[in-house]
């Protein structure tokens, strides 16, 4: 049976804008949805001091929730200025130690760069990921790349990063709602064999798996979720599926309904 969880960006409005929740509420919210895995987001952390991180770790333990990943935002490892990129890399490295402290398995760091990245940009990204993969190995915390804008929107770039970094500590976090302009089939073929965690975005409950969606940038993000699940199954993916968006206004209901939908699609593929 697949394991399901929550990608905490599901609660971004409540945490960042409405201020009706904090990150410390997320383990209980995950448990309330009947789920056992939680992905955190760097921008939700109130700090990195030991007292706060102990609260995060203990809260997850009390709820019986496993911390799978920290999605690290607001760091660009592709910038051309050497000093700025050094600051960004050293800041990214701190999150591996935060993850280690709270018992979290992985850290996602975005590629940055341009959608039509130049050779120079791509080389900087590869060099940055190589350095971060060394940090991953040293800490025992996986480094993940997500299809999350910039150079990572091109599946060929992700394939290049994986091949040139060439580290078992460098894995992927496919996001089912982030493949733009019809790239989802190629994108999931590239990412699935290296997947460590998966973000699931739900925009409808079509039994054939169709998920029509246009992003805020106007780019088409339509995918077939059933086909994505099929590819993940064929490549032996055994990690969690973390719900990042759903349809219902109540987010607990959105998560539980999304899980039931994904399970129906999996059953149609003959999943155990």
Rounded CA-CA distance 97/111 in Å is 20
With cut-offs at 50, 70 and 90, classify the pLDDT of residue 270. confident
Instruction: Report the predicted TM-score, pTM, of the whole model to 2 decimal places.
Output: 0.97
Rounded CA-CA distance 265/148 in Å is 25
Rounded CA-CA distance 135/122 in Å is 20
pLDDT digits (tens, 9 = 90+) for 138-191: 999 999 999 999 999 999 999 999 999 999 999 999 999 999 999 999 999 999
Instruction: Check residue 82 and give its pLDDT.
Output: 98
- Expressed in percent and rounded to 5, the helix, strand and coil fractions of the chain are 50, 15, 35
Checking if the pLDDT of 57 tops 70, the result is: yes
Burial class (CB in 10 A: 0-12, 13-18, 19+), 206: middle
Tell me the H-state helices in the chain: 12, 26-32, 50-63, 82-102, 119-139, 155-165, 184-191, 225-234, 251-268
pLDDT digits (tens, 9 = 90+) for 204-228: 999 999 999 999 889 999 999 999 9
Bridge partner list, 141: none
The tally of CA atoms less than 13 A away on the side-chain side of residue 40 is: 31
Residue for token pair 């350095």 = 131
Instruction: Check residue 268 and give its pLDDT.
Output: 96
Q: Does domain 4-268 have CATH number 3.20.20.150?
A: yes
Instruction: Check residue 271 and give its pLDDT.
Output: 56
With cut-offs at 50, 70 and 90, classify the pLDDT of residue 1. confident
Contact partners, residue 206, CB within 8 Å, separation at least 6:
none
Checking if the pLDDT of 50 tops 90, the result is: yes
Please check whether residue 130 is in contact with residue 80, taking contact to mean a CB–CB distance below 8 angstroms: no
Rounded CA-CA distance 249/193 in Å is 34
């Amino acid at each position: 049976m697949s394991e399901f969880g929550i990608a905490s960006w599901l609660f971004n409005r409540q945490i960042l804008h409405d201020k009706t929740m904090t990150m410390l509420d997320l383990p209980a919210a995950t448990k309330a949805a009947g789920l056992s895995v939680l992905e955190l987001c760097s921008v939700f952390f109130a700090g990195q001091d030991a007292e706060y991180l102990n609260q995060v770790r203990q809260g997850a333990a009390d709820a019986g929730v496993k911390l799978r990943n920290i999605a690290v935002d607001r760091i660009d490892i592709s910038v051309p200025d050497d000093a700025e990129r050094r600051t960004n890399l050293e800041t990214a490295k701190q999150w591996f130690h935060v993850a280690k402290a709270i018992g979290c398995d992985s850290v996602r760091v975005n590629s940055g760069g341009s959608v039509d990245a130049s050779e120079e940009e791509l080389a900087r990204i590869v060099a940055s990921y190589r350095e971060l993969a060394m940090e991953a190995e040293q800490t025992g915390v996986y480094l993940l790349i997500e299809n999350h804008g910039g150079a990572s929107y091109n599946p060929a770039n992700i394939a290049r990063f994986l091949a040139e970094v060439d580290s078992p500590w460098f894995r992927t976090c496919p996001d089912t709602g982030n493949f733009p302009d019809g790239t989802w089939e190629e994108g999931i073929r590239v990412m699935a064999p290296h997947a460590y965690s998966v973000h699931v975005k739900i925009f409808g409950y079509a039994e054939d798996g169709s998920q029509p969606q246009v992003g805020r940038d106007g780019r088409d993000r339509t995918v077939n979720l059933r086909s994505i699940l099929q590819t993940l199954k064929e490549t032996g993916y055994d990690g969690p599926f973390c719900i990042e968006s759903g349809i219902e206004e109540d987010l607990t209901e959105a998560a539980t309904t999304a899980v039931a939908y994904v399970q129906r699609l999996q059953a149609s593929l003959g999943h155990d």
